[in-house]
Structure 1
Amino acid sequence: MTDRIANAQLRGKVMSADEAAALIPAGAQIGFGGFTGSGYPKELPKALAARIKAAHEAGEDFTVNAFTGASTAPELDGVLAEVDGMGWRMPYQSDPTLRKKINDGTIRYTDIHLSHSAQLVAEGFCGRLDFAAVEATRITEDGSIVPTSSVGNNKTYLDMAEKVIIEVNSWQSLELEGMHDVWNGYLTPPNRPAIPITNPGDRIGDAFLTLDPGKVVAVIETEDPDRNSPFKPIDDDSRAIAGYLLDFYANEVEHGRMPKNLLPLQSGVGNIPNAVLDGLLKSDLENLTSYTEVIQDGMVDLIDAGKLTVASATAFSLSPEYAHKMNEGAEKYRRSIVLRPQEISNHPEVIRRLGVLSCNGMIEADIYGNVNSTHVCGTRMMNGIGGSGDFTRNAYISAFVSPSTAKNGAISAIVPMASHVDHTEHDVMVIITEQGLADLRGLAPRQRARKIIENCAHPDYRAQLTEYYEAALASSKAKHTPHDLAHSFDFHRSFLENGTMRLS
């Protein structure tokens, strides 16, 4: 791997993952690279987990605090959670073992807007950063790092950490070099300039991450692939939701509120967003753009078809098949893809300026349009808010999508009152299920309630929701946003007690 470690000083610090893990003491705070299963260190966390497990078996206390960009993969979040190796974690996660440990109280978890996380670390609110552990496709002659399949919070972690560990991964394509755009002009107020992005494809920084080579204590050579799971086949509900959204966009174009090629697209990860991208692929739309968090399979298809001219993000979220495809064609794809630090990819200033169209998933929405995207029944953390708040609050049009029911119909995605609120009614413009679409723009609360129940609720729950709303309207002295607080959470209470939100 000499060609991948061109700096002689850092080439002399190559060691095994076990040797590098031995440098990390109990209680260390570590900024790990990685975002949605891409570009995370893969060997160091496994070696660290083995060391922690051995310490626990010897009766010693040993945990570390883990910072990341977003979710990672089993080789990082999973292995450290399995050995109770994390004391604290931020800002977003999706690993089932880690989720269980968060919900049983073993691991403390701070859920942060992704655009805020780097600034909070830089300002010291999360304490000192002892180590940064990041992945590189190569190290340049001057010691700079060429990132791999994500940028995330790597810049801030490298800047703030006292010591740095680099995994140089030969599985990642050398042709990724030139795809990244790392801006060094993001200063703290009052010295912060405007971010000079006026088009999704604007490049404003460097193609590499800079650091002081003297901070590097270890370099690990790896050849491990990113571990994203294959996407599920697009089902009928997802196709129906995608159809409603694309028809809605077409109506906006017809009324002159958007250009024919739409505005820059943002979407969360999952089956429904991929159904939307598949619908765009089959449409007659051209010259599309995207300003988002992650590059998904459907975006690669749109680039291949010549329909998507540029996609700006902070990471890939690709199935194994498409990750291989990206590696094989990175030289071509870097002409159309820009990977930025997440404090830029998710920055409200740029999102608002570009007029981004946001589309994100939800756990539930209430009849007035408040959305819960993080907590099941108000207390059980699912994954975290991620970047949905960054985009929703600042989008030109913000949409939330979900099947109308879950757990074989036992859960309604439309409820009388959201058990936890991540996105208020003031920020949510459109709600879509396979039942239909509710355009909430310009509507008063009572109008919103009728439209959400009629258009988005499943027929099995429509009568229950209507009964609740009409009872609240009749009993509440305040008619602006009628609620019957004695029964606002009957749906959730029934699910916890009886396993279904259907009220007997």
Structure 2
Amino acid sequence: MSRVLNKKLRKKITTAEEAAKLIKPGHNVGMSGFTGAGYPKEIPGALAANIKAAHERGEEFMIGLFTGASTAPELDGVLAEVDGISFRTPYQSDPIMRKKINAGISEYADIHLSHLAPMIWAGSMGRLNTAVVEVTAINEDGTAVPSSSVGNNKTYLDQADQIILEVNSWQSADLEGMHDIYYGTRLPPERQPVMLTHTGDRIGQRNYKLDLDKVVAVIETDAPDRNTPFKPADEDSKKMAGFFLEFLTHEVKKGRLPKDLLPLQSGVGNVANAVLAGLMDGPFSYLTSYTEVIQDGMVDLIDADKMTVASATAFSLSPEYANRMNDQAKRYRDKIVLRPQEISNHPEMIRRLGVIACNGMIEADIYGNVNSTHIMGSKMQNGIGGSADFTRNSFISAFVTPSVAKGGAISCIVPMVSHHDHTEHDVQVLITEQGLADLRGKSPKQRAKLIIANCAHPTYRPLLEDYYEHAQKVCNGLQTPHDLRLSLSWHQRFLETGTMQPA
């Protein structure tokens, strides 16, 4: 049975091939999708075929691609493979997309996730020609039920010249009522406070508003999200999670955190899942989460009555848990809220709620500066995503990483990071499998000693100690000692020899 209940839009049902023809060379296209959830399943492939055919005819055809965050091979991958993306923002994680960015074929603007929607409204990102958004259903009144991610969809639907909708019947119809689509944001000077004061508050409406005259095509699909099974946490991930949970327990004992903590935010990955697993067995109850994505561990915490509510902008679930969510969405509607990412990542909300943030990183230096995005200074990995939204504004901000990478050829604790994403002013806690460094209230020199002693791998610890002692002798000031000639020599040595370890 069709989920397109509006009579006017039912007349616009067509094929993906026909709809894709409405996207022209040079268009800026806002597509739904956030960490492999809620992305359009048919249009990207049909568009990629059109682009490939145009290139074979010797014609130029590329688009600017805007999303919520990373998507899936069926979107980023297929369009990047045919050199169809001239410009990409705000975040990606696809290997083909990454390759095209680092080869200079696709320009990439790595933007804080909370910033993009206001920038589009202000017009600073150029004209948005087309929105391609997956929804669960179109109601008789012309509103659209969001699917498994919200991201920037509200903004794309409002701002695009034309709209193409994919109505995906794989998404549970019982998702309706889980979303909170807030239409109260404004640009300066008309901005007003966003009156969200508790994690589970609902301040918007259930569904998207649509300008029906802008909808040029509707596609009906029945295809699952890209749901990747989570890898079991390895021993290093469990150690890092253990250090973080010990730290939280200590903060409660000291009276600096309430006994049931504050709203939790965690990045995606092994360590985040290990932390969530640790919370299952920990002493904390009545937990809440104000984050970007709902992961398997959060669903487990809800099922165990350890977490009362989780707020995010998308799901990031394994296939098993995605099927559970589809089967039992009605049961989870009161415990999960999916919001636009300009609200899920809003600095005002994060600061007000007192979020405890824990994110991954590529490397940190001995003074607490963090690189989340670039390999050896120049090569993009994925992007900053929402990590800075939370790091700068959280009550506690932590970063985690193994102490070494590439079998020990790379130290993830270095004299100076090769690219700055988060400065020492915003980073409060660093964690590796070696230990935890609480950097709050520490001067740069005090941080350096703590990070080297607690977080560096034993292979690199003496080398970092030597660098720090040497830097104090040759620096032009002892506030943050550096030898600028040697501060990036570890990275240069790796590029030349394949290892940061000296010969």
TM-score, structure 1 as length reference = 0.99
Tell me by how many angstroms 1:192 deviates: 1.1
Match of 1:203 in 2: 202
Match of 1:452 in 2: 451
**2:192 counterpart of 1:185:** no
How far apart, in 2, do the equivalents of 1:412 and 1:91 lie?
28
Match of 1:273 in 2: 272
Moved more, 425-434 or 283-292: 283-292
Tell me by how many angstroms 1:78 deviates: 0.4
How far apart, in 1, do the equivalents of 2:243 and 2:366 lie?
19
Tell me by how many angstroms 1:285 deviates: 1.4
Can you list the C-alpha shifts for 1:363-417, whole angstroms capped at 9, x where unaligned? 0000000000000011000000000000000000000000001111111110000
Match of 1:257 in 2: 256
**2:491 counterpart of 1:492:** yes
- Secondary structure (helix, strand or coil) at the match of 1:217 reads strand
Match of 2:18 in 1: 19
Q: Is the 8 A contact 1:32 1:41 kept in 2?
A: yes
Match of 2:502 in 1: 503
How far apart, in 1, do the equivalents of 2:188 and 2:49 lie?
42
Can you list the C-alpha shifts for 1:176-226, whole angstroms capped at 9, x where unaligned? 000000111111112111111111000001000101111000000000100
Match of 2:167 in 1: 168
- Secondary structure (helix, strand or coil) at the match of 1:408 reads helix
Q: Which runs of 4+ in 1 moved over 3 A?
A: none
**2:106 counterpart of 1:107:** yes
How far apart, in 2, do the equivalents of 1:33 and 1:361 lie?
24
Match of 1:92 in 2: 91
Mapping of residues 286-365 of structure 1, within 5 Å: 286-365=285-364
Residue type matched to 1:233 in 2? P
Tell me by how many angstroms 1:316 deviates: 0.5
Residue type matched to 1:207 in 2? R
- Secondary structure (helix, strand or coil) at the match of 1:135 reads strand
Match of 2:416 in 1: 417
Match of 2:34 in 1: 35
Can you list the C-alpha shifts for 1:88-116, whole angstroms capped at 9, x where unaligned? 01000000000000000000000000000
Tell me by how many angstroms 1:444 deviates: 0.4
Identity of aligned residues (%): 66
Match of 1:462 in 2: 461
Tell me by how many angstroms 1:298 deviates: 0.4
Match of 1:246 in 2: 245
How far apart, in 2, do the equivalents of 1:498 and 1:321 lie?
43
How far apart, in 2, do the equivalents of 1:490 and 1:340 lie?
44
Tell me by how many angstroms 1:317 deviates: 0.7
Match of 2:82 in 1: 83
Q: Is the 8 A contact 1:14 1:221 kept in 2?
A: yes
Tell me by how many angstroms 1:475 deviates: 1.4
How far apart, in 1, do the equivalents of 2:82 and 2:325 lie?
34
- Secondary structure (helix, strand or coil) at the match of 1:50 reads helix
Tell me by how many angstroms 1:282 deviates: 1.4
How far apart, in 2, do the equivalents of 1:231 and 1:434 lie?
20
Q: Is the 8 A contact 1:73 1:228 kept in 2?
A: no
Tell me by how many angstroms 1:228 deviates: 2.6
How far apart, in 2, do the equivalents of 1:49 and 1:288 lie?
44
Match of 2:385 in 1: 386
How far apart, in 2, do the equivalents of 1:476 and 1:85 lie?
48
Match of 1:119 in 2: 118
How far apart, in 2, do the equivalents of 1:206 and 1:20 lie?
29
* Number of residue pairs the alignment of both structures matches: 503
| CA RMSD in angstroms, aligned pairs only | 0.6
Residue type matched to 2:231 in 1? K
How far apart, in 1, do the equivalents of 2:434 and 2:217 lie?
54
Can you list the C-alpha shifts for 1:55-97, whole angstroms capped at 9, x where unaligned? 1111111111100010000010000000001010100000000
- Secondary structure (helix, strand or coil) at the match of 2:50 reads helix
Can you list the C-alpha shifts for 1:404-447, whole angstroms capped at 9, x where unaligned? 01111111110000100000000000000000000000000000
Tell me by how many angstroms 1:334 deviates: 1.1
Q: Is the 8 A contact 1:181 1:338 kept in 2?
A: yes
Can you list the C-alpha shifts for 1:289-339, whole angstroms capped at 9, x where unaligned? 000000001001101111010000000011111111111110111110000
How far apart, in 2, do the equivalents of 1:489 and 1:189 lie?
41
Mapping of residues 206-221 of structure 1, within 5 Å: 206-221=205-220
Q: Give ranges in structure 1 of 5+ residues lacking alignment.
A: none
How far apart, in 2, do the equivalents of 1:108 and 1:291 lie?
32
Q: Is the 8 A contact 1:295 1:311 kept in 2?
A: yes
How far apart, in 2, do the equivalents of 1:236 and 1:482 lie?
35
Match of 1:479 in 2: 478
Moved more, 444-453 or 19-28: 19-28
How far apart, in 1, do the equivalents of 2:455 and 2:13 lie?
57
Residue type matched to 2:211 in 1? D
How far apart, in 1, do the equivalents of 2:246 and 2:496 lie?
40
Q: Is the 8 A contact 1:435 1:458 kept in 2?
A: yes
- Secondary structure (helix, strand or coil) at the match of 1:114 reads coil
Moved more, 226-235 or 463-472: 226-235
How far apart, in 1, do the equivalents of 2:320 and 2:428 lie?
35
How far apart, in 1, do the equivalents of 2:216 and 2:376 lie?
45
- Secondary structure (helix, strand or coil) at the match of 1:400 reads strand
Tell me by how many angstroms 1:132 deviates: 0.4
Residue type matched to 2:363 in 1? E
Match of 2:403 in 1: 404
Match of 1:427 in 2: 426
How far apart, in 2, do the equivalents of 1:397 and 1:331 lie?
33
Tell me by how many angstroms 1:477 deviates: 3.2
Match of 1:129 in 2: 128
Q: Is the 8 A contact 1:134 1:165 kept in 2?
A: yes
TM-score, structure 2 as length reference = 0.99
Residue type matched to 2:47 in 1? L
Residue type matched to 1:412 in 2? S
How far apart, in 2, do the equivalents of 1:187 and 1:57 lie?
44
How far apart, in 2, do the equivalents of 1:440 and 1:232 lie?
30
